[in-house]
Structure 1
C-alpha cells in the first residue's frame, strides 16, 4: 500500500461515522452481555468497598464514603471501558480480522478509521459511565439534576483513554502485551488518582505524579458534579483531558501508519 493511501489526517469531518456505525451494528447483537461485562467491576467496587469499607471509614470530604466513591467509579468505568474496547476489539479488527485493510481500500483514510474507533470506544465509555451514575442516583448517592453536567466529561474521558489505548494497539505485537498496560498503567491510576480515596492522603511525591495523570482530571470534574458542587479549576481539568485526547490521537495515528506500512 503506497504512502498516499495512509494519510494521518481524517479526510473530512464525517467519514469516521461509517466506522462508528459498522462497530455499532456489530455490537448491538451482543449489547446486553457487553454492558454487563463493562459494569461488573465498577459496580462491585462501588457496593463492595462503598458499603463494606464505608461502614468503617465514615464520611470523606463532607459526604458518605459510598457517595464519594461513586464519582470515582463513574470515571474509572469510562477509563476501563474505553481502554478495553480499544486494546481488544480495535486490535482484533486491525490485526486479526483485518477489517481495517478492507476499509482502507475505500475512500476512508487511516485517520478516519482511527477517529471512528476512538469515538466508538468513547461512546461505549459514556454508556457505561452513565449507567453507573444512574444507579448511584437511584440509590441516593448523586445529586439530580446537577450530575447531568458530568455527561460531557464522561465522554471526553472515554475519548482520552481510547486514544491512549490506541497507542498501545499501535506498538503491541499481540494480545499478550496488553496485560502490561492493564496492570502497570490502568490499575495504578484507579487507586492513585482519587477514584478510591482522596489524593490528599497520598505522600507528596505520589500526589505530584497523580496530578499529571488523566484519570485525576476526570475524577476532579465528575465527582463534584455528581455531588452537586462546582469543580475547582474546572477549565484546567477539562482542557487537560482534551489535550490528552488530541495528542494521543495524533501520536497513535502516526504509529499505526508506520506499522501498517511495514
Structure 2
C-alpha cells in the first residue's frame, strides 16, 4: 500500500520541543506585561532595597569577604531571582496548561508526545530564566554591583539552579488536581530556601544543624557557583561537584515529570 503523503509524521524530540516553545513564545509576545514585574522588575527593586538601601548600613567585613554589601549580594540575587521565577513557571503556568487553559491537551492531539511537551516546557522555562538573569546582571552592572567580567558566568549557573528546582516542581505540578498545594510550597520551601542558604549572610552564621538543610538546596549550590565565579574564588573540583549535583537533581525531576506527563496526557 503506498504511503499517504498527507499523513502526519511525528517530529523528532528536538523539533517537537522547539514547536512547543514557538507556541509559548507566540502567547508570551501578547501577554508579557503580566509577568514583567515578577520576572524583571521585582528582583531589581530587591537589589536596590537590600543592596543599596539596607546595604549602605552594612560595613565591609569578614562576613562579606571585605566587599561592599551590594557587591556581595548581587551574584546571590541572580540565583535566587531565577529560582523564584522558576517557581511560578513550574507551578501555576504548568497547572493552567493542564487544567484551566488545557493547552497541553491541544498539543498532544497532534503528533507531539507528552514527553516532547515536557521538553518544550522545560526549554521555555530555561530560556525565560536566562533572559531574566541576563537583564538582572545588566542592571546590577549599571549599579556598580558587578566587579568582574567573569560575573557573566553567573547567568548559566543561575539557570542551572533554577532548572534543578523547576524540573522536580513541574513533576509535582503534573500530579496536582488543585493548585492549593503551591501555597505551601512557596511558604515552606521557596522562602526558607531563599533566606537561609547564604544569599544575605554566610550560612556559617546559622546553627550547625541547619547547614545540611542548606546544602541539599539548589539555591546554595547556585550561590556558591555564582559568587565563586564573580569573585574569582571558584576552585575547579568544588565547581564540578556543585554542577554535578544540580544536574543530577534536574535529571531526576525530568524523569519523574516525563512519567507524570505521560500518565496525565497519554490517550
Aligned to 2:122: 118
Selected match of 1:97 from 96, 101, 113: 101
Correspondence 1:15 to 2:16: yes
Aligned to 2:251: 246
Structure 1 stretch 26-35 or stretch 161-170: which is displaced more? 26-35
Aligned to 1:213: 217
Q: Report deviation, 1:45.
A: 2.4
Paired residue total: 253
Q: Report deviation, 1:228.
A: 4.3
Give me the whole-angstrom Cα distance separating, in 2, the residues matched to 1:143 and 1:35. Answer: 27
Q: Report deviation, 1:33.
A: 4.4
Selected match of 2:144 from 137, 140, 143: 140
Give me the whole-angstrom Cα distance separating, in 2, the residues matched to 1:138 and 1:155. Answer: 21
Aligned Cα RMSD in Å?
A: 2.0
Q: Report deviation, 1:44.
A: 2.9
Give me the whole-angstrom Cα distance separating, in 2, the residues matched to 1:259 and 1:93. Answer: 12
Selected match of 1:82 from 81, 86, 102: 86
CA distance 1:228–1:131, change in 2 (3 Å): farther
Give me the whole-angstrom Cα distance separating, in 1, the residues matched to 2:15 and 2:207. Answer: 46
Aligned to 1:202: 206
**Where does structure 1 lack aligned partners over 5 or more consecutive residues?**
1-9
- Render the CA deviation track for 1:39-65: whole Å, top value 9, x for unaligned: 233223212122233233212122111
Conservation of the 8 A alpha-carbon contact between 2:38 and 2:85: no
Spell out structure 1 runs of 4+ moving beyond 6 A: none
Selected match of 2:162 from 141, 158, 166: 158
Task: Give matches, 1:16-55, under 5 Å.
Answer: 16-55=17-56
- Secondary structure of the equivalent of 1:15? helix
Give me the whole-angstrom Cα distance separating, in 1, the residues matched to 2:106 and 2:265. Answer: 13
- Secondary structure of the equivalent of 2:144? coil
Give me the whole-angstrom Cα distance separating, in 2, the residues matched to 1:184 and 1:207. Answer: 17
- Secondary structure of the equivalent of 1:175? coil
Q: Report deviation, 1:253.
A: 1.9
**Where does structure 2 lack aligned partners over 5 or more consecutive residues?**
1-10
CA distance 1:68–1:219, change in 2 (3 Å): same
Q: Report deviation, 1:231.
A: 5.0
Selected match of 2:242 from 226, 237, 245: 237
Selected match of 1:192 from 169, 190, 196: 196
- Render the CA deviation track for 1:169-221: whole Å, top value 9, x for unaligned: 12222222211111111111001111221111111111111111111111111
Give me the whole-angstrom Cα distance separating, in 1, the residues matched to 2:153 and 2:18. Answer: 25
- TM-score relative to the length of structure 2: 0.87
Correspondence 1:64 to 2:71: no
Structure 1 stretch 35-44 or stretch 65-74: which is displaced more? 35-44
- Secondary structure of the equivalent of 2:200? coil
